[in-house]
């Protein structure tokens, strides 16, 4: 994908999982990549070490903190001299089954989940849009989930946040099209990441894989290719789309 040669890309939550796979794929395609991380500087450094080419770096930022988001975008744009593509991948997945947690824990889970998975992503978009406009356009790719459509009994705030992210992304697609900014969404099902590995390796692993007729779950690399497709500009009329990557484990009508 020569489209990415010379492009400047920011991936939030890029130190592991889908974010790491996307960073590697963008770098292989010629882009300069910045990844954000919240705490694990070692994982971030390891990811940067795997990226082909030069000019890649990591920046520490808590996406739940609005001021940290603003500083991150300014720092990355200054270092790169602009931004072309932003991938909102940072997320949390906190269990809080309504019949089993205290009201206090319920409040915490909702606050923590929404502040990263929805409000944090919205803040990233607000801060980055002026930089994309100055470049004459760009791409925003938001990472959602099949949970936005089918829910999750133990993680209701997660599904709600991702559903909100879908609607937000479609609103942005309308608002930003006149500025030549493409907005797309990738909605994976289960993916073999650190966040899901314990489930996939545990007693429920076979049942999870059986949810798909393929008998498998996606790899981070598969999801990364979907991200690159939407960020490539190959199909600009797809702006506002939600691309499912769930092995037919959930089919929308």
**Residues annotated as catalytic (active site), given as ranges:** 158
The DSSP string of 16-56 is SHHHHHHHHHHHHTT-EEEEEESS-HHHHHHHHHT--SS--
Alpha-carbon 189 to chain mean position: 13
Sheet holding 8-11, edge to edge: 57-60, 32-37, 8-11, 85-88, 138-143, 181-188, 242-245
Q: Please answer whether residues 58 and 44 qualify as being in contact, where contact means their C-beta atoms are separated by less than 8 angstroms.
A: yes
Rounded distance between C-alpha atoms, residue 196 and residue 182, angstroms: 30
Q: In DSSP terms, which residues pair with 181 in a beta bridge?
A: 138
For residue 74, the tally of other CB atoms under 10 A from its CB is: 12
């Amino acid at each position: 994908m020569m489209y990415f040669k010379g492009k400047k890309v920011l991936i939030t939550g890029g130190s592991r999982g889908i974010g790491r796979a996307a960073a590697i794929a963008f770098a292989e395609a010629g882009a300069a990549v910045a990844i954000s991380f919240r705490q694990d500087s070692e994982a971030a450094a390891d990811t940067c070490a795997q990226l082909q080419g030069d000019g890649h770096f990591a920046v520490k930022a808590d996406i739940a903190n609005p001021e940290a988001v603003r500083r991150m975008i300014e720092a990355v744009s200054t270092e790169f001299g602009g931004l072309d593509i932003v991938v909102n991948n940072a997320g949390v997945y906190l269990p809080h089954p309504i019949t089993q947690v205290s009201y206090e824990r319920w409040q915490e889970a909702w606050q923590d989940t929404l502040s990263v998975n929805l409000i944090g992503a919205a803040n990233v978009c607000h801060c980055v849009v002026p930089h994309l406009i100055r470049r004459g356009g760009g791409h925003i790719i938001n990472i959602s989930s099949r949970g936005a459509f089918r829910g999750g009994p133990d993680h209701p705030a997660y599904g709600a946040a991702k559903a909100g992210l879908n609607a937000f992304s479609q609103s942005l697609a309308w608002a930003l099209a006149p500025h030549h900014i493409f907005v797309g969404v990738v909605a994976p099902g289960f993916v073999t990441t650190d966040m899901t590995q314990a489930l996939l390796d545990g007693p429920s692993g076979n049942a999870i894989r059986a949810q798909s007729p393929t008998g498998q779950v996606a790899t981070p690399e598969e999801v990364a290719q979907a991200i690159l497709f939407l960020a490539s500009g190959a199909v600009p009329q797809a702006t506002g789309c939600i691309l499912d990557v769930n092995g037919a484990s959930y089919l929308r009508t």
